Structure 1
Amino acid sequence: MRLRTVLATVTAGLAAATCLTAAGPANARPDSSAGHACSPAVSIDRFSDALDKTAYEGTFVGNFSALAVDRDGSLAAVSDRSALFGLDARTFAPESVVPLADESGAALDSEGLVVDRDGTRLVAGETEPSVRRYSRDGRILDRLPVPDALRVAPAGRAVSNGTFEGLTLLPGGRTLLASMEYALAGDSAGIVRFQTWNRTKGDRFEVGRQYAYRTDTGLGVPEVQATPDGRLLVLERGFTAGVGNTVRLYLADPRRATDTSGVENLTGQDGVRLIRKTLLADIVNCPSLGATAKQPQPNPLLDNIEGMAITGYSKGRLKVLLVSDDNQNAAQTTRFYSLRVRTTPQGRGELRD
């Protein structure tokens, strides 16, 4: 089915998000958003390092790769070391943890997360890649089909550690979308594919349309989240040794993009209409708020930001929570970032194709 604007309905996860408080955890910086502009469209309220290098019930708390709002307003999070956490929405304190595994019991490189309308968890794995449905206690309930071209070589054309990173349900809950992190072999560098699935009877999903998105030079896509009007928030991220991270937040509109599921090679010169994007903020321009970094960074606030969830919305203004993946590395930090994001009207702002 075509991507389309749905104004009257939103996903269950976004509906639950309206219950979340704007306040951060007790040890977060208590500053108001005034004077905390990252750009005309984005400001940062606060950050929290409360979970950095901690443990819960014997499980390391970190390696976070995705966030989602649960139906009760709490947070769900996955680590790329096969753990599914429940977090308090206000303090971020862990409340539960369950292990995740594939059908053979092997650990997952879990990267994307959606809480579906029945409370089950859709989890994107980067290894094959895969999208599986899990119960709250970690049992596999279903596995979605994946187009052959998106599989890691030699089974397909994807590069290892460059497949499904972002996962989101579009408004109305009928279309699931996953973002690849990097380009397929044969596609031009920087042009990544976004795959969709359409919900069928019995809450199953079948392969749907596919779209192409061009990243900034040297960056990949670690996360994507649907906004209530059918557009997408897209994180772009990169790392340069000795310099640090680059993290940019874009507003993207896939609704007029070409279905690329039948296009073997994306060259950027083939008449394909790419997803249009508008830069909302380069996170390097956010005030540091007293943050410190354990390795060189162009702004000490920055780290390996990888997860994102929309935790509240009202009339084009979103509350957005980001989290960094510390890779269980002493030189990196598990850090939460509370942002306020204003989505500009279509046709305004800087558009990049």
Structure 2
Amino acid sequence: MSTTAKPALTIRLCEPRGFCAGVDRAIQIVVLALKRFGAPVYVRHEIVHNKYVVEGLRGMGAVFVRELDAIPDDGQPVVFSAHGVPKSIPAEAARREMLYLDATCPLVSKVHKQAMRHMRLGRQVLLIGHRGHPEVVGTMGQLPDGAVILIETEEDVAAFEPTDAAALGFVTQTTLSVDDTAGILAALQHKFPLLHAPSSESICYATTNRQDAVKAAAPGTSLFLIVGAPNSSNSKRLVEVAERAGASVAVLVQGLQDMPWEHVIPDTTIALSAGASAPEILTDAILEALRTRFELRIELVQTAIETENFPVMRSLRDVPLAKEDMAFVNGQGAAAQALIN
């Protein structure tokens, strides 16, 4: 009986990809809270922007709400998402004597502090970011109404006229495209030479690292797959970075169900990465599906090694997690490493 050899396909697998330390910490907080306090544990908004993660936590007993007024006074805790919240939210929780756990990424909290420092020094605060994104809402909500001016484009820079051009300070949303932000920042610095920078970089290490790996992997690829949610800012920026860096086609997929098989062409090179809130299990499923159809050659494109770890709050550190809980927190990825080895 004759057998037909599978066609060849080269995959450039980006590293780092997927969960960052801030996302990992936020998911841990919800899982640990469920272990300590039992269900339900309420979560204001999506803990991170990923449907798989949200549905998995919902299955464990998490209840996702838009606002605190949807939570009954039943004594159960509420978790604030990794994107951060305006100051009014914990203030309302405290007024209602709710037990709340703040899962804001420490790097987002750093941006909050940078913005408050600008204001404390008498500067008008400019926030480079995307209107309506939860992180932007949270950052603007650290200061009084009207104290933060949102800058989304270079056109916004051209239109902005400050009260005092010598008393301006900027911060940025952590998940922006490094290249896009550079253009807006250059326009700001050209128009306002005395603009004050934050004390350290606002765009987070994970965003920068994932974009650098995508830039390195993209040239000459026929398809670049980015695993992530359509409401994930950092994932959407990775698609844009891939297209600019040379990928013929770049596509955002939530998982295997979204695979654009018509763009997977034998004897070509494709690339694969994942946004900071996408668990490795979703990347694994795509790799396994590709392996059933093609003879795969894996090229690891590694541009950084991430060792960051953000511990959870002290009140949850002694809660033990079962092996299956740790697998969920860590994204349950193993197939990619097996293929590389």
- If the length of structure 1 is used for normalisation, what is the TM-score? 0.30
Q: Structure 1 or 2: larger helix share? A: 2
Report 1 or 2 for greater relative contact order, CA contacts < 8 Å, sequence distance ≥ 6: 2
Report the structure number with the largest CA radius of gyration.
Answer: 2
Q: Structure 1 or 2: larger strand share? A: 1
